[in-house]
């Protein structure tokens, strides 16, 4: 039995893209994962399991997916794409940059629309950046310097489990120290308080007069010094429990809250007492903290980009950050989801000038989200074929969009048996990038890191990049340019 | 394939070999210039009535990397007005001031340029720069990692450990596959980490007990210890601020005593942005005469122009605090991007206007620098692409340098108050083709220490540009428009011995080399560096030691320059 | 007058910048039929997609009869003449228009009149998002001309507007007059929230209900009526000024009668003064 340990492995799960994992490989199988969060550990241990994947290319014949040779599947995929008038090529955020580069070349060759998953998550953020810019930094800068950290409409505790521990509130930096100990003390006291309150609140009268469980009623020493964590969300999440300030915003009113904060930062008095369900008094207190810090950062999530206001929520959050720079150093960063959605945006941008939703139908890159974004294309029924790479739109897109997607020829390249692949006409299974194939991916702060190959893929499975190259080659043959 | 080429009857300008417009045939074989080829077998290019020059060399142009890409992301409106349709040999692309990677390569090649250096890459994001370089065709290329605010540099210099500093710089440049040491607003970027800046070369850097002067001198010494081919490449403190020409003079003076022989030891880049006189924007004036005077009297510095063009472009530098000031001045959109333990960056779109007093003065400063510095080998043509304007406008700058009339015509349309105060109208000097060849290829190649570039001597890389303008018939002073047109679209561009451009169109797509320095320090020292870094890596960065260096196989065509350091 | 009738129901988007009187003028039907358009990624001629007929008068008019909701950029950059569409029309109708007149008896897609500088667009149905607004990243919005929409419009109508006027008979979506610097928008129906976000100048008049007022607007007073272009609209209207966070003094007129939810705030502030 052969056992080896691989160090500094990057984790192909979320945008935090931790690169300090340590894997134990026994007989070509990953048996132990160190340093990863539960999601990362599960992916390394269970994703390569043969039960959840296609092991042979499949082609739909008479309504049934049947096994086919790789050459056959590639040829069929190439025909579908080469013949289409308006094909879409979607996915890309869970594969490596090398594959994306080929994907864009393919999209250009077939005159299609290429789009990545940002279109349904941080697309609005990217559009906001195009309107007003983005003061951002790498995560290490936050670790070393930030003394105020804002999480707005995101829940890193669950979506990016090591974000707080590695980059923001809990790590030690050159100029800031860890808040771990304070968090534990506070957590203990809070638990105690909760127990007492719960006991008291069984009495209806006491319950009526008890104030809400507000953080600043605890001992002030626990809040004065060191880093401060501010959480703004529609619900009290786990990270909100850890915060020094929690602002519960009414659903869909983030824009109003942002504007109120911006007004206060600029010294404009508000005429209302309450904005988005939050007392202006509390906002004033929070703004005081924000303008008197040395280095602040806002991390925002899908709660901002996908709720009412979308682009403009982010637009305003960025303007707020820009204004805060008159008073102190402030930066803002999106909490990107997939481990390489940032890389997808990067590759798209350097090859085509635009981060997502790029239309090659006229032989050059054209970009206009709302017009060239895949969900809108599907909802209008414009497209007549699709290639999906490393993504599962059938599980995530609106029903009407999915209907149109599966009505037309659909080619899927994916390492796992996704809902989309079950509906496809051609399925080409691939190796898991970052486990069975190497490549490059970008952390949410645009730091590029290598994806490692730690085990061999099942026999016959190629990487996304290799498969795409074969399709591209075949398309060129059909078009007579190879 | 054994390619043989013979360029016949052209007027050759090859300043490194002292050839000034003589008719010399250039023979090429296997990607090199050779003594002769067999005329019967070789492909003949008839360059009668044309100019033959070495392929253009640009030593300062922001073409790849995180910052450039953020600029692309920021400006869809820049791309919509300028796009390129896919052809049989070329990929499509977009972008006026910040073209996409393929388009960048094609456009340089169309102008006869064959080597381009990106001057500012955050080492932590070097992998990104290499990925883009792998998608930038037609040219040989490389980049300078930003080192002036790297914590290791600051700490070692503070502690007076110059050899350790050198060894660490060697590790970093070799690891990220960079080419030269770049300083941007030394000390100021670290201060910008907390939203501050430094205001002179003697203003201490917060928390580090060190001044920009120490950093500049320290890295200059490091550069000498490492035997790097290029001098330290400096974007000085106070860039873009009225009155900053004194900072530039201070910067040049502060390394004066370190010079050995006559070798330049410091390159002050895009000097136009750093030659401002006056106390504010209203009293802005040119500090070019003072700087030219200093440069004329000293041999240890070289410059490049950083000429501005009147157009809509995008400023992008690693100088975060400067970009913030520019954002506050213009109210345009603003990107800032700070990189842990290393550097920062900023981006702001800008439109240079003829009617603007400040912009008109800036325009004159760039040209005054080029015209007042007597030795052309000391000042090179750049627009600090895209900061002063896109590189595609170089032919415009060439015309201004070669023609007084061209300058006068432009001045007629400029802000009157600015013109009234300019030195430029009193300058009669006009560049010759020979001097243009120095400013656009020979000079930068020599400054970069690229021995095979920038000339057409036997053994040189067969990178050649042929322009359809007859120097015996065309008077560039009067017919500057013909010159401008010729330099916009090369009649031929030959890259590594192959014809890649004909009549200004790409006929063949190819990948150039990525040039980098593989620096060898003493093995024991290198071991200490590795050991120390491994131990302390996590204190500085949020990535692992193993994942920081970039393996050579990552570069599509790697061209390492093996360098033996003195330490 | 050239009359176009689509030959089939289109599936892929058609990009037809050439459908403009400036292009058609002086061309024979045959020449017009040879103009290039894109159907998805396939290059076609106009004649492959449309049937043509010809009427002598008026000479500079184009009429389209049928559903052209997949056809984009009709009247792009047009300077003169007239286009009449009997049916729904696709995106970018009259984008960057500099003169002439477009009438649609149906609905228009998003970006109708995008960044137009002169001329008239009249849509008898509804219009999509970004009415008159520029494409992403640009700050040059509508700088002149008139847009009239007889039914509802989507979000961000009149964004980045500098001059000209927009008249909406139905209701408007969110972010009406976003980053507006000049010009006037009149909404006879209701407006969703965030009207006037980031506005620094110009005038928005809402005769119906404004779902909610942004906190960065301040009450200036009550006006009995207000002039929008040549027209006098009677109120009374609350006059708010904002967006204060942009240091703006854009005017937002909101019907007093139809917006009782704003009256407590107005009363409080006016009393405080």
- For C145-165, the pLDDT digits (tens) are 999 999 999 999 999 999 999
By the CB < 8 Å criterion, does C216 face chain A?
A: yes
pLDDT tens sequence across B159-218: 999 999 999 999 999 999 999 999 999 999 999 999 999 999 999 999 999 999 999 999
What does the block give as tokens for C241?
């000024």
Which chain C residues are Cβ-neighbours of B73 within 8 angstroms?
Answer: none
Contacts of A133 in chain B (CB under 8 A): 74, 327, 332-336, 347-348
Query: What DSSP string describes B471-486?
Result: TTT--TTT-HHHHHHH
CB count within 10 Å of CB B39 equals 12
Query: What pLDDT is attached to residue A222?
Result: 54
* Contact criterion met (CB < 8 Å) for B541 and A442: no
Decide if C135 touches A, using CB distance below 8 A. Answer: yes
pLDDT at B2: 59
pLDDT digits (tens, 9 = 90+) for A19-37: 999 999 999 999 999 999 9
The A residues from 134 to 153 touching B (CB cutoff 8 Å) are 134-141, 143-145
B77 lies within 8 A of chain C by CB: yes
> Can you tell me the distance from the alpha carbon of A448 to that of B542, in angstroms, rounded to the nearest whole number?
12
Chain C residues touching residue B75 (CB < 8 angstroms): 137
Within 10 angstroms of residue A264's Cβ, the number of other Cβ atoms is 23
- pLDDT cut 90: percent of chain C above it: 92
**Residues, chain B:** 567
Q: Residue A126: is it exposed, middle or buried by C-beta count within 10 angstroms (0-12/13-18/19+)?
A: buried
- Say if C175 is an interface residue toward chain A (CB within 8 Å): yes
Q: Is the pLDDT of residue A204 over 80?
A: no
B33, B460 Cβ separation under 8 angstroms:
yes
Using a CB–CB cut-off of 8 Å, the residues of C that contact B are 134-138
Would you say the CATH fold of A123-179+226-334 matches that of A54-121+339-431+458-479? no
Q: Between vectors from CA B208 to CA B205 and to CA B214, what angle results, nearest 5°?
A: 65
CB neighbour list of residue A388: distance below 8 Å, 6 or more residues apart: A90, A91, A410, A411, A412, A413, A414, A420, A424
How much of chain A, in percent, has pLDDT values that exceed 90?
85
pLDDT at A348: 98
pLDDT tier for residue B261 given thresholds of 50, 70 and 90: confident
Cis peptide before B326 (omega within 30 of 0): no
For residue C138, the chain B residues in CB contact (below 8 A) are 76-77
At A185 the pLDDT is 82
pLDDT tens per residue across span A225-246: 689 999 999 999 989 988 889 9
**Closest Cβ–Cβ partner in A308, A323, A381 for C11:** A381
**pLDDT > 70 fraction of chain C, expressed in percent and rounded:** 99
The residue behind tokens 């969900």 is A375
Owning domain of residue C157 = 61-272
Contact A135 B79 (CB under 8 A): no
- Using CA atoms, how far apart are residues A344 and A338, in angstroms rounded to an integer? 10
Q: How confident is the model over A162-187, as pLDDT tens digits?
A: 999 999 999 999 999 888 888 888 77
Q: Which helix (H) or strand (E) holds B514?
A: strand B514-520
Contacts of B86 in chain A (CB under 8 A): 108, 360, 363-364
Confidence of residue A2 (pLDDT cuts 50, 70, 90): confident
Say if the Cβ atoms of A130 and C136 lie within 8 Å.
Answer: yes
Chain A positions touching C129 (Cβ under 8 A) are 370
Please name which of A69, A5, A2 lies closest in space to residue A34, comparing C-alpha atoms: A5
Whether residue C3 lies inside any domain: the answer is: no
Neighbouring chains of B at 3+ CB pairs under 8 Å are A, C
User: Can you give the CATH number for the domain in which C235 is found?
Assistant: 2.160.20.60
- Residues A56-65: pLDDT tens digits? 999 999 999 9
pLDDT greater at residue A1 or residue A217: A1
8 Å CB contact of C138 and B75: no
In whole angstroms, what is the distance from residue B556 CA to residue B131 CA? 9
Average pLDDT, chain B: 97
H, E, C per residue of chain A: CCEEEEEEECCCCECCCCCCEEEEEECCEEEEEECCCHHHHHHHHHCCCHHHCCCCCEEEECCEEEECCHHHHHHHHHHHHHHCCCEEEEECCCCCHHHHHHHHHHHHHHCCEEEEHHHHCCHHHHHHHHHHEEEEECHHHHHHHCCEEEEECCCHHHHCCCHHHHHCCCCCCCCCCCCHHHHHHHHHHHHHHHHHHHHHCCCHHHHHHCCCCCHHHCCCHHHHCCCEEEEEECCCCHHHHCCCEEEECCCCCHHHHHHHHHHHHCCCCCCCCEECCEEHHHHHHHHHHHHCCCEEEEEECHHHHCCCCHHHHHHHHHHHHHHHCCCCEEEEEECCCECCHHHHHHHHHHHHCCCCCEECCCCCCEECCCCCCHHHHHHHCCCCEEEEECCCHHHHCCHHHHHHHHHCCEEEEECCCCHHHHHCCEEEEECCECCCECEEEECCCCCEEEECCCCCCCCCCECHHHHHHHHHHHHHHHHCCC
- Token readout for A88 is 């879409």
Say yes or no: C76 contacts chain A, CB-CB below 8 A.
Answer: no
Q: Sort out which chain C residues have CB atoms less than 8 A from B78's CB and list them.
A: 137
Q: According to the model, what pLDDT value does residue C271 have? A: 80
Question: A224: pLDDT confidence band, cut at 50, 70 and 90?
Answer: low
Residue C222 three-state SS: strand
Q: Residue A371 has which token pair?
A: 């017009």
Q: Which among B75, B207, B340 has CB closest to A140?
A: B340
For residues B49 and B34, what is the distance between their CA atoms, to the nearest angstrom?
Answer: 23
Give the span between the Cα atoms of B533 and B539, in whole angstroms.
10
Which residue of A lies nearest to C12 if distances are taken between CA atoms? A382
Task: For chain B, say whether A218 makes contact (Cβ under 8 Å).
Answer: no
List residues bridging with B181 in a β-sheet: none
B127 Cα to chain C: minimum distance (Å): 28
Q: Which residue has the tokens 């290499």?
A: B130
Contact (CB<8Å) B102/A351 = yes
Structure tokens at A70: 């790789």
Asked, for residue C20, whether it belongs to a domain, the answer is no
Residue C87: count other Cβ atoms within 10 Å of its Cβ: 18
Chain B hits for A331, CB-CB cut-off 8 Å, are 336, 338
Average pLDDT score over residue span B533-562: 96
pLDDT in tens, A370-427: 999 999 999 999 999 999 999 999 999 999 999 999 999 999 999 999 999 999 999 9
B324/A222 Cα distance (integer angstroms)? 35
A56 touches chain B (CB under 8 A): no
Distance between C224 CA and the closest CA of chain B, angstroms: 37
Q: Minimal Cα distance from A366: which residue of B?
A: B80
Asked if residues B356 and B329 have their Cβ atoms less than 8 Å apart, the reply is: no
Cβ contact (<8 Å) for C135 and B75?
Answer: no
Instruction: Kindly state the helix (H) or strand (E) to which residue B406 belongs, with its residue range.
Output: helix B404-412
The verdict on residue C29 lying in a domain is no
Q: Which of C136, C214, C218 is the closest to A256 by Cβ?
A: C214
Say if the Cβ atoms of C174 and A308 lie within 8 Å: yes
Cα radius of gyration rounded to whole Å, chain B: 22
B166: left (phi over 0), alpha (psi -120 to 50) or beta: alpha
Instruction: Report the C-alpha gap between B350 and B313 in whole angstroms.
Output: 5
CB contact under 8 A, A382 and C11: yes
Q: Does domain A123-179+226-334 have CATH number 3.30.465.10?
A: no
Residue B18, by phi and psi: left (phi above 0), alpha (psi -120 to 50) or beta?
left
Pairwise CB contact (< 8 Å): C245 & A382:
no
Distance from A341 to chain C by nearest Cα, in Å?
21
CATH number given to A54-121+339-431+458-479: 3.40.50.740
Contact state of A131 with B333 under an 8 Å Cβ cutoff: yes
Residue burial A429-455, b: 16+ Cβ < 10 Å; e: rest:
bbbbbbbbbbbbbbbbbbbbbbbbbbb
Tell whether C9 is covered by a domain.
Answer: no
Per domain, the residue ranges of chain B are 146-446
A362 → closest Cβ in C15, C198, C212 = C15
Cα nearest neighbour of B334 on chain A? A133
End-to-end CA distance of chain B, in Å?
A: 42
Mean pLDDT of A148-171: 95
* Residues C200 and C220: beta-carbon distance below 8 Å: no
Q: Where are the domains of chain A?
A: 54-121+339-431+458-479, 123-179+226-334
Instruction: Name the residue in chain C with its Cα closest to that of B73.
Output: C137
Handedness of CA B196, B201, B202, B204 (dihedral sign): positive
For residue A201, the model assigns a pLDDT of 66
The answer to whether B80 contacts chain C (CB < 8 Å) is yes
B82 contact A CB<8A: no
Across A199-213, A424-438, B250-264, B267-281, least confident range: A199-213
**Whole-number average pLDDT of chain A:** 93
What does chain A come to in residues? 482
Q: What is the mean pLDDT of residues B292-296?
A: 98
Distance to chain A for C230, nearest Cα, Å: 33
For the segment A119-137, what is each residue's pLDDT rounded down to a tens digit? 999 999 999 999 999 999 9
- Assess whether pLDDT exceeds 80 at residue A266: yes
Mutate to test the interface with C, among A252, A309, A361, A363 (most CBs of C within 10 A): A361
Tens-of-pLDDT digits for all 273 residues of chain C?
Answer: 999 999 999 999 999 999 999 999 989 999 999 999 999 999 999 999 999 999 988 889 999 999 999 999 999 999 999 999 999 999 999 999 999 999 999 999 999 999 999 999 999 999 999 999 999 999 999 999 999 999 999 999 999 999 999 999 999 999 999 999 999 999 999 999 999 999 999 999 999 999 999 999 999 999 999 998 788 999 899 999 989 999 999 999 999 999 999 998 888 888 875
Contact A135 B336 (CB under 8 A): yes
Pairwise CA distance, residues C110 & C154, whole Å: 8
- Tokens 């497209």: give the residue: A383
């Amino acid at each position: 039995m052969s056992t080896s340990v691989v160090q500094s492995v990057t984790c192909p799960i979320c945008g935090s893209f931790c690169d300090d994992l340590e894997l134990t490989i026994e007989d070509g199988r990953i048996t132990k994962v160190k340093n990863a969060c539960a999601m990362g550990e599960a992916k390394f241990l269970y994703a390569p399991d043969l039960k959840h994947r296609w092991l042979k290319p499949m082609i739909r014949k008479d309504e049934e997916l049947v096994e086919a040779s790789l050459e056959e599947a590639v040829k069929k995929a190439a025909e579908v794409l080469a013949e289409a008038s308006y094909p879409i090529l979607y996915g890309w955020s869970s594969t490596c940059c090398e594959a994306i580069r080929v994907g864009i070349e393919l999209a250009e060759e077939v005159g299609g629309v290429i789009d990545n998953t940002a279109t349904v998550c941080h697309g609005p953020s990217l559009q906001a950046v195009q309107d007003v810019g983005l003061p951002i930094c790498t995560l290490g800068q936050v670790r070393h310097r930030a003394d105020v950290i804002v999480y707005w409409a995101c829940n890193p505790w669950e979506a990016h489990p090591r974000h707080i521990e590695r980059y923001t509130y809990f790590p030690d930096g050159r100029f800031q120290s860890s808040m771990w100990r304070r968090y534990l003390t506070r957590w203990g006291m809070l638990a105690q308080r909760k127990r007492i309150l719960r006991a008291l609140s069984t009495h209806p009268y006491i319950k009526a007069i008890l104030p809400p469980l507000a953080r600043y009623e605890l001992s002030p020493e626990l809040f004065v010094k060191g880093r401060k964590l501010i959480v703004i969300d529609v619900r009290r999440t786990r990270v909100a429990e850890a915060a020094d300030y929690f602002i519960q915003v009414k659903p869909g009113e983030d824009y109003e809250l942002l504007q109120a904060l911006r007004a206060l930062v600029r010294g404009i008095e508000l005429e209302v007492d309450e904005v988005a369900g939050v007392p202006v008094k509390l906002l004033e207190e929070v703004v005081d903290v924000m303008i008197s810090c040395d280095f602040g950062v806002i991390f925002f999530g899908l709660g901002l980009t996908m709720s009412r206001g979308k682009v403009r929520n982010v637009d305003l959050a960025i303007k707020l950050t820009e204004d805060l720079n008159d008073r102190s150093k402030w930066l803002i960063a999106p909490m990107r989801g997939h481990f390489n959605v940032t890389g997808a945006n990067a590759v798209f941008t350097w090859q085509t000038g635009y981060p997502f939703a790029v239309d090659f139908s006229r032989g050059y890159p054209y970009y206009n989200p709302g017009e060239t974004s895949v969900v809108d294309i599907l909802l209008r029924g414009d497209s007549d074929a699709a290639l999906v790479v490393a993504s599962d739109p059938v599980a995530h897109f609106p029903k009407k969009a999915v209907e149109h997607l599966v009505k037309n020829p659909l080619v899927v390249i994916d390492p796992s048996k996704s809902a989309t692949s079950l509906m496809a006409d051609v399925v080409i299974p691939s190796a898991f990038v970052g486990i069975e194939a190497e490549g490059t991916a970008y952390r949410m702060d645009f730091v590029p890191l290598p994806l490692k190959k730690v085990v061999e893929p099942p026999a016959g499975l190629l990487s996304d990049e290799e498969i795409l190259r074969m399709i591209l080659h075949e398309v060129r043959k059909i078009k007579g340019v190879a | 394939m054994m390619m043989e080429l013979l360029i016949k009857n052209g007027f050759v300008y090859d300043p490194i070999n002292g050839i000034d417009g003589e008719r010399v045939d250039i023979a090429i074989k296997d990607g090199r210039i050779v003594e002769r080829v067999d005329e019967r077998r070789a492909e003949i290019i008839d360059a009668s009535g044309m100019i033959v020059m070495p392929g253009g060399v640009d030593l300062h142009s922001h073409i790849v990397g995180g910052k450039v890409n953020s600029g692309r992301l920021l400006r869809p409106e820049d791309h919509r007005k300028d796009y390129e349709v896919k052809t049989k040999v070329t990929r499509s692309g977009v972008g006026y001031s910040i073209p996409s990677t393929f388009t960048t390569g094609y456009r340089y090649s169309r102008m006869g340029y064959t080597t381009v250096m990106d001057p500012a890459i955050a080492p932590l994001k070097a992998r990104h720069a290499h990925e883009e370089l792998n998608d930038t065709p037609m040219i040989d290329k490389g980049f300078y990692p930003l080192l002036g605010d790297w914590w290791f540099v600051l700490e070692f210099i503070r502690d007076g450990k110059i050899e350790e500093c050198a060894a660490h710089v060697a590790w970093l440049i070799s690891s990220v596959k960079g080419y030269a040491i770049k300083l941007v607003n030394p000390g100021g970027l670290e201060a910008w980490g907390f939203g501050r800046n430094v205001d002179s070369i003697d203003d201490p850097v917060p928390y580090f007990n060190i001044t920009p002067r120490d950093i500049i001198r320290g890295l200059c010494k490091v550069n000498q210890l490492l035997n790097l081919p290029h001098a330290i490449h400096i974007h000085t403190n106070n860039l873009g601020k009225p009155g900053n020409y004194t900072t530039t003079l201070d910067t040049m003076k502060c390394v004066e005593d370190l010079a050995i022989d006559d070798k330049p030891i410091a390159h002050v880049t895009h000097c136009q942005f750093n030659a401002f006189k006056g106390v504010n924007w209203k009293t802005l004036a040119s500090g070019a005469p003072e700087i030219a005077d200093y440069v004329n009297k000293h041999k240890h510095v070289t410059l490049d122009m950083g000429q501005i063009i009147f157009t809509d472009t995008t400023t992008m530098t690693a100088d975060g605090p400067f970009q913030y000031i520019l954002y506050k001045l213009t109210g345009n959109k603003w990107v800032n991007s700070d990189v842990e333990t290393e550097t920062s960056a900023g981006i702001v779109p800008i439109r240079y206007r003829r009617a603007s007093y400040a912009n008109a003065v800036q325009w004159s400063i760039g040209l005054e620098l080029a015209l007042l510095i007597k030795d052309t080998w000391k000042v090179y043509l750049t627009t600090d692409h895209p900061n002063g304007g896109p590189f595609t406008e170089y032919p415009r700058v060439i015309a201004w340098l070669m023609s007084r009339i061209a300058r006068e015509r432009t001045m007629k349309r400029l802000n009157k108050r600015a013109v009234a105060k300019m030195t430029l109208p009193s300058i009669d000097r006009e560049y010759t083709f020979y001097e243009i060849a120095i400013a656009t290829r020979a000079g930068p190649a020599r400054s970069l220490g690229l021995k095979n570039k920038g000339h057409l001597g036997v053994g040189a890389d067969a990178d050649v540009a042929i322009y359809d303008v007859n120097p015996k018939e065309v008077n560039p002073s009067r017919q500057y428009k013909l010159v401008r047109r010729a330099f916009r679209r090369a009649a031929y561009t030959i890259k590594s011995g192959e014809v890649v451009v004909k009549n200004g169109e790409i006929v063949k797509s190819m990948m150039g080399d990525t040039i980098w320095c593989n620096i060898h320090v003493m093995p024991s020292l290198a071991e200490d560096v590795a050991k120390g870094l491994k131990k302390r890596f996590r204190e500085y960065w949020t990535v692992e030691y193993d994942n920081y260096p970039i393996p050579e196989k990552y570069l599509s065509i790697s061209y390492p320059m093996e360098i033996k350091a003195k330490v | 007058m050239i009359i176009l009738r689509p030959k089939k129901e289109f599936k892929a988007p058609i990009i037809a910048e050439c459908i403009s009187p400036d292009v058609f003028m002086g061309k024979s039907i045959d020449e017009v039929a040879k103009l290039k358009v894109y159907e998805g990624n396939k290059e076609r001629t106009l004649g492959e997609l449309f049937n043509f007929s010809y009427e002598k008068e008026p000479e500079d008019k184009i009429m389209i009869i049928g559903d052209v909701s997949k056809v984009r950029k009709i009247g792009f950059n047009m300077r003169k003449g007239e286009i009449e569409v009997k049916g729904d029309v696709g995106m970018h109708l009259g984008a960057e228009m500099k003169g002439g007149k477009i009438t649609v008896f149906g609905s228009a897609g998003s970006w109708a009149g995008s960044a137009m500088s002169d001329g008239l667009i009249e849509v008898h149905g509804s219009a999509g998002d970004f009415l008159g607004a520029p494409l992403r990243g640009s700050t040059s919005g509508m700088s002149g001309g008139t847009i009239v929409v007889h039914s509802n419009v989507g979000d961000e109508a009149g964004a980045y507007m500098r001059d000209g006027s927009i008249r909406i008979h139905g209701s408007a979506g969110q972010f009406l007059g976003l980053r507006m610097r000049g010009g006037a928008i009149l909404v006879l129906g209701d407006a969703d929230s965030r009207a006037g976000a980031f506005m620094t100048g110009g005038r928005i008049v809402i005769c119906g209900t404004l779902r909610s007022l942004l906190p960065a607007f301040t009450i200036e007073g009550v006006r009995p009526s207000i002039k929008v272009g040549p027209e006098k609209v009677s109120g009374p209207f609350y006059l708010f000024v904002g967006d204060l966070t942009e240091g703006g003094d854009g005017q937002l007129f909101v019907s007093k009668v139809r917006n009782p939810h704003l009256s407590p705030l107005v009363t409080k502030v006016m009393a405080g003064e």
